[in-house]
Amino acid sequence: MSVSTYPRYHSHLLFLYTSSAMCSPSTARQLISHATVILLGCGATTSAVKCLLSIGRLNEAIKICSTKKNKSDGVEAKDFFLAAVSNAKQSSSDTNCQSFYLLYYFLQSYDPSIFELESRKVRVSRRGSKNRRTNSFMATAEDLDTIMIEQSVFAHECGPFPNELFGGKESHCAKKLRQMFGYGVSVTQRASVM
Amino acid sequence: MIRIATVEKGEDLRKKLPPRRRRQTFAAGERSSSLLSEGDDNDVHFNIDLSYDAFPVTSKPEKLPNFREGSQRSIFGPKLEEGIKPGTTSIIGGGVLWSARSSENGDDNAELDLIVVTTTSVIVYNMNMTKKKLIKAHVLPHPLAASFWFEASAKTLVIGSYKSNLRQTSTVEEGSGLDVSITIDRNFSIDDNEEHNRQGDSSIKSVSFPTAVMSMKTIFFSKNSSVVQTLPTFVAGTLREISTDDEDDRHTLQLSLESFGSSKTDNKPNKEKESNTVVLPTEIFLVRLYDDVYCIELGSLGTDKGGIGLTKLDKEANCIHVRHQKLDALKGNINEDSISVGVMNNLLCIFSKNEETTYYIDVAASFCDDTRVMRDMISLYEPTSNTSGNPHIHDDNLSFLAPHYFLDTNGQGLLFEVSLSLPQLLKGIPTTAMCIPFLLRRSNSKATIRSLIMERFSQLIGLNDMSTLRTWLTVIIDEYAECEIATKFDVEGEAHMEEMMKMAGKSSQNVSLLTKCSLLQLDNISNAEEIVFGSMLVPPEACSHVLTQAEVIQMILLPHVKSAIQMGDSKKLKFMSSFAVSYFVELERRFLAPCTALQCLVIALLWLTGQNNELCAFLSAQQTQWTITRRRRQLELPTSNRMHFDDPGAVSFAETLFQIATDCHDKGEIPVS
């Protein structure tokens, strides 16, 4: 199943949904719980975790993976992080801090290797923050430079840290989390990772 | 000497035969006789001399041969032979039958049997082509026969002999507490009202039965060996009630073994009564339906009630099964010129020229004890005035030839083969009559049958008749439960389908049933025509007589759900939701596993129609059942329940449930945990 490309309802169905019927969120929760039980019962843990993450049920996905000794094949730390970022957009910064702390401690046990530091070549903008183009795709070859940066594997793969979810890049919480997740300070401040 | 057969390509055979053996004859009674060749043409004629009598005896079915003990007639000569009674035995008209069978080596039609049906016995000769010998294999004696019937495809021979019915002809007073139907269930086709009236009627009414009935002896010839099997003798004509007018004269009916051919046959009024009440050979037919042989008796309940007697000759169980059904068309005297009996599409057809009506009887339904199923005969009135110059089956100049041919005796004598028009036949069946098993038993194309079934269901759904639909479901599921291939197909079919889908890749034209049942992509729910003609899930031929879950979903549930959604008809959608839930519940009630597609459809429909409580209860019930089942399995206790992981398509099903729930989530209606 391609989780990221869920089919959308036909317009006729949408009519019905919007007109009256549709089940309540609590029913939807029960439906998801039912589906999860089936998947876990069938041994399709990866599929269950992927499905849960795709709909933002991070805690349930973490709970499932926590009971397993080994990392689930096909579910990367990045998937958890992206789900957490997606959820955090609808929550306050305090709540987000809490959930990212939890995520960090989970990922440490889930896949400790992702926090190992690694030096990779990163293409960064030469210009200062004033003239820095916000969109990296708009940067010309002259604007970019390649430098060697040491940060965690996780940070290399996940891209820039979402400082805005924690009250800005200068906030204590953001700084702390960046450090925990192994983000290099200089890069996160001014570079866009390609 | 009777020339009984012509064997083609006999020239070679004739050359092989030594000249001295030509033109020899042999008697029927001889244990072993040589084959002979005769004639100047290229064909070889095998002649068997069965009679030394210079005056052959002819007989008609309605006129019995007049032989009595002590007659001076000598048919087989003075030599006493097994199965031959001098002065009595004669070959019944048409009683020389050939029956090919496979040899012991398995070669098809390698052996040929000659069956000679005489008035006192059936003599079976085996023709050994290698040894050029005709060997008398069996002699099966029977009481003096009036007629015989042979069903060639099933190699079944039935001999009818009249016998006295004096013990049963004593008057039975209704209401006196005596049960007149001790041996045969004659209440089967009698209306409840009529029966009630009968019981409530305190007046004593005399019922009497004919003095002579027909004893029927059945012989099955094997298709691959010389062994013959016989059934216990049964009797026809026992339930022919003599009407009140006839009662006074009933004692004059003296058609018994002793009176055959006696002076009483000269009494014309008695003869008329006799023909009214005593079963005649022309009223009996032997037909093959659904690979079983049935003996049909017209007017089996007497002239007042008409009726038809169906006797199934069960070779496997070595017994007979009898049913009598009322048929008003057969009231009074049956005119054999007007009534013909044939077989079309495994339906017994009674063509009535006088009424310009054809009556269709499905013996499978007649022998079914299920009152939910339509068991009535279907009548189709086809007036000859409606034809536009084309020949009509009820035309006077068309003669019926069994099992389903009509010969135009005018002009050059065209032969017509008639076939059954199911759509036309269905017009004579009420909308609420449960005729789905009837339809599934027909040999028409699968597409035709499926479309007709859909039509019948659509009519009921259109009427919002949930009560009848539930009854239909129970019948469908009962039959489905007995077909192991069908249940296996539903369980394993989905898994195979999923695998196929993964291999073929998903496209708009290649969508699994589970995806269709999620109702996520309405465009992918095939329309009715696609379901019937281009279905991917085709059940095996062995379960064509039942409706599988996949078929019910594809043919009935999905098309109506789609139309309800397209029309924005939430009422109909709710109706279909109830219908799907009923189907699910009935399956579980019989310990049958509902396929994942049906589970998904039920959930999707409950979801769409906003039935929160029902959906939650549904999910909770399933989880509780799993918990119980898991616990019982842990304790090694027996359980017929299934776990979710027992279903091959469970993973896809669960993933689809996520998709259904996600729609709500996309709108931000589910709070993120």
Chain B residues 538-567 with a CB less than 8 Å from chain A: 565-566
How many other CB atoms sit within 10 Å of the CB of residue B376? 17
The pLDDT of residue B258 is 41
Looking at CA atoms only, how far is residue A134 from chain B in angstroms?
29
DSSP letters spanning B85-120 = -TTT--EEEEEEEEEEE--TT--TT-EEEEEEEESS
Contact A6 B623 (CB under 8 A): no
Q: What is the mean pLDDT of residues A21-36?
A: 81
**Banded model confidence at residue B497, pLDDT cuts 50, 70, 90:** low
- On chain A, the residues whose CB falls within 8 A of the CB of B644 are 37-38, 41-42
Query: Mean pLDDT of all residues in chain B?
Result: 73
Lowest mean pLDDT among B64-78, B91-105, B248-262, B380-394: B248-262
Task: Inform me whether the pLDDT recorded for B475 exceeds 80.
Answer: yes
Shortest CA distance from A44: residue in chain B: B651
Task: Inform me whether the pLDDT recorded for A20 exceeds 70.
Answer: no
The pLDDT of residue B387 is 63
The pLDDT of residue B673 is 34
Task: Inform me whether the pLDDT recorded for B418 exceeds 60.
Answer: yes
The pLDDT of residue B294 is 94
Question: Higher pLDDT residue, B593 or B470?
Answer: B470
The pLDDT of residue B467 is 92
Looking at CA atoms only, how far is residue B622 from chain A in angstroms?
9
**Banded model confidence at residue B389, pLDDT cuts 50, 70, 90:** low
Q: What is the pLDDT of residues B43-79, one digit of tens each?
A: 444 444 444 343 344 555 555 455 445 555 544 444 4
Residue B647, classed as helix, strand or coil, is coil
Cα–Cα dist B32/B136, whole Å: 6
The pLDDT of residue A37 is 87
DSSP letters spanning B325-350 = E-BGGG-SS--TTTEEEEEETTEEEE
Tokens matching residue B97? 């039958």
Shortest CA distance from A29: residue in chain B: B670
Question: Higher pLDDT residue, A139 or B130?
Answer: B130
The pLDDT of residue B337 is 73
Alpha helices in chain A (DSSP H): 11-19, 25-41, 45-54, 58-66, 77-88, 93-110, 153-158, 172-180, 185-190
Shortest CA distance from B619: residue in chain A: A34
Contact A35 B654 (CB under 8 A): yes
Shortest CA distance from B661: residue in chain A: A28
Looking at CA atoms only, how far is residue B658 from chain A in angstroms?
6
What are the backbone dihedrals phi and psi of residue A68, each rounded to the nearest 5 degrees, phi first?
-95, 140
B224 contacts chain A (CB < 8 A): no
Residue appearing with tokens 């189907």: B583
Q: What is the pLDDT of residues B197-253, one digit of tens each?
A: 444 444 555 667 777 888 999 999 888 887 888 888 998 888 887 665 544 443 334
Q: What is the mean pLDDT of residues B85-96?
A: 78
Q: What is the pLDDT of residues B615-665, one digit of tens each?
A: 888 888 888 888 888 888 888 777 767 777 677 778 888 888 888 887 654
Q: What is the mean pLDDT of residues B87-93?
A: 78
For the ranges B240-249, B297-306, B523-532, the maximum mean pLDDT occurs at: B297-306
- On chain B, the residues whose CB falls within 8 A of the CB of A48 are 654
Shortest CA distance from B569: residue in chain A: A16
The pLDDT of residue B171 is 47
Looking at CA atoms only, how far is residue B549 from chain A in angstroms?
21
Q: What is the mean pLDDT of residues B546-553?
A: 88
The pLDDT of residue B575 is 93
Cα–Cα dist B308/B376, whole Å: 12
The pLDDT of residue B339 is 84
Q: What is the mean pLDDT of residues B15-42?
A: 37
Task: Inform me whether the pLDDT recorded for B7 exceeds 70.
Answer: no
The pLDDT of residue B225 is 80
Contact A31 B612 (CB under 8 A): no
**Banded model confidence at residue B141, pLDDT cuts 50, 70, 90:** confident
Looking at CA atoms only, how far is residue B330 from chain A in angstroms?
57
Question: Higher pLDDT residue, B171 or B176?
Answer: B171
B642 contacts chain A (CB < 8 A): no
For the ranges B89-103, B118-132, B346-360, the maximum mean pLDDT occurs at: B346-360
Task: Inform me whether the pLDDT recorded for B355 exceeds 90.
Answer: no
A95 contacts chain B (CB < 8 A): no
Question: Which residues fall within 8 angstroms of residue B122, CB to CB, at 6 or more apart?
Answer: B83, B115, B116, B138, B139, B140, B142, B157, B159, B219
A92 contacts chain B (CB < 8 A): no
The pLDDT of residue B157 is 93
Lowest mean pLDDT among B214-223, B239-248, B285-294, B385-394: B239-248
**Banded model confidence at residue B132, pLDDT cuts 50, 70, 90:** low
Q: What is the pLDDT of residues B555-612, one digit of tens each?
A: 899 989 988 888 888 889 999 999 999 999 999 888 888 888 898 899 999 988 888 8
The pLDDT of residue B263 is 41
The pLDDT of residue A4 is 33
Out of A16, A27, A36, name the one closest to residue B568 (CB).
A16
How many distinct helices (H) and strands (E) make up chain B?
18, 25
The pLDDT of residue B528 is 47
Q: What is the pLDDT of residues A63-93, one digit of tens each?
A: 888 877 677 677 888 888 888 888 888 878 7
Cα–Cα dist B474/B382, whole Å: 34
Looking at CA atoms only, how far is residue B224 from chain A in angstroms?
53
- On chain A, the residues whose CB falls within 8 A of the CB of B671 are 25
Lowest mean pLDDT among B260-274, B411-425, B430-444, B530-544: B260-274
How many other CB atoms sit within 10 Å of the CB of residue B251? 10
Task: Inform me whether the pLDDT recorded for B438 exceeds 70.
Answer: yes
A5 contacts chain B (CB < 8 A): no
The pLDDT of residue A11 is 40
Half-sphere exposure of A84 (CA within 13 A, CB side): 26
Tokens matching residue B402? 């069994």
Task: Please name the amino acid found at residue B171.
Answer: T
**Taking every pair of C-alpha atoms in chain A, what is the biggest distance, in angstroms?**
58
- On chain B, the residues whose CB falls within 8 A of the CB of A92 are none
Out of A1, A27, A41, name the one closest to residue B644 (CB).
A41
Among residues B226, B16, B27, which one has the least CA distance to residue B127? Answer: B226
Q: What is the mean pLDDT of residues A91-119?
A: 83
Question: Higher pLDDT residue, A57 or A188?
Answer: A57
Shortest CA distance from A32: residue in chain B: B658
Q: What is the pLDDT of residues B211-227, one digit of tens each?
A: 788 899 999 988 888 78
The pLDDT of residue A142 is 56
Q: What is the ipTM of this complex?
A: 0.71
Task: Inform me whether the pLDDT recorded for B149 exceeds 80.
Answer: yes
Q: What is the mean pLDDT of residues B501-521?
A: 67
The pLDDT of residue B388 is 66
Cα–Cα dist B561/B550, whole Å: 15
CB B206 within 8 A of CB B171: yes
B607 contacts chain A (CB < 8 A): yes
Task: Inform me whether the pLDDT recorded for A167 exceeds 60.
Answer: yes
Q: What is the mean pLDDT of residues B100-116?
A: 77
Out of A23, A41, A48, name the one closest to residue B612 (CB).
A23
A18 contacts chain B (CB < 8 A): no
State the Rg of chain B over Cα: 32
How many other CB atoms sit within 10 Å of the CB of residue B194? 12
The pLDDT of residue B156 is 92
The pLDDT of residue B38 is 38
Query: Could you tell me what percent of chain B has a pLDDT over 90?
Result: 12
Among residues B623, B26, B303, B27, which one has the least CA distance to residue A34? Answer: B623
Residue appearing with tokens 């069956």: B115
**Banded model confidence at residue B347, pLDDT cuts 50, 70, 90:** very high
DSSP letters spanning A90-116 = TS-HHHHHHHHHHHHHHHHHH-GGGGS
The pLDDT of residue A144 is 66
Lowest mean pLDDT among A66-70, B202-206, B423-427, B521-525: B202-206
Per-residue HEC secondary structure of B117-146 comes to EECCEEEEEEEECCCCEEEEEEEEECCCCC
Q: What is the pLDDT of residues B258-269, one digit of tens each?
A: 444 444 444 555
State the Rg of chain A over Cα: 20
Out of A19, A23, A39, name the one closest to residue B654 (CB).
A39
Q: What is the mean pLDDT of residues B182-202?
A: 43
**Banded model confidence at residue B86, pLDDT cuts 50, 70, 90:** low
B621 contacts chain A (CB < 8 A): no
The pLDDT of residue B218 is 92
Cα–Cα dist A77/A136, whole Å: 25
B653 contacts chain A (CB < 8 A): yes
Degrees, nearest 5: CA angle B321-B326-B331:
125
Contact A25 B651 (CB under 8 A): no
B673 contacts chain A (CB < 8 A): yes
Task: Please name the amino acid found at residue B407.
Answer: L
Chain A residues 138-167 with a CB less than 8 Å from chain B: none
**Banded model confidence at residue B494, pLDDT cuts 50, 70, 90:** low
Question: Higher pLDDT residue, B561 or A153?
Answer: B561
A–B CB contacts, 8 A cutoff, strictly below: 152
Contact B658 A54 (CB under 8 A): yes
